[in-house]
């Protein structure tokens, strides 16, 4: 894998996470604290983002 490809993947990762964080900040405290169910590895959105 070339250095250029690694940089592109890293840039995409940063871009995608930034989009997710921007959306999450608009959801509000109640939503990001709600338990979404055991079908997820991290059933609370806040914990999902902590994992990211």
Asked if 43 contacts 35 with a C-beta cutoff of 8 angstroms, the reply is yes
CA distance 2 to 52: 25
Instruction: Report pLDDT digits (tens) over 1-52.
Output: 899 999 999 999 999 989 988 988 898 889 888 898 888 888 888 888 888 7
Contacts for 19-27 with beta carbons within 8 Å, 24 or more apart? 20/49, 20/52, 21/49, 24/49
Cβ neighbours, 10 Å, residue 44: 14
């Amino acid at each position: 894998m070339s250095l250029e490809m690694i940089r592109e993947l890293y840039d995409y990762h940063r871009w995608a996470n930034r989009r997710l964080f921007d959306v999450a900040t608009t959801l509000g405290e109640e939503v990001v604290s709600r338990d979404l169910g055991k079908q997820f590895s991290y059933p609370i959105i806040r914990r999902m983002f902590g994992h990211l």
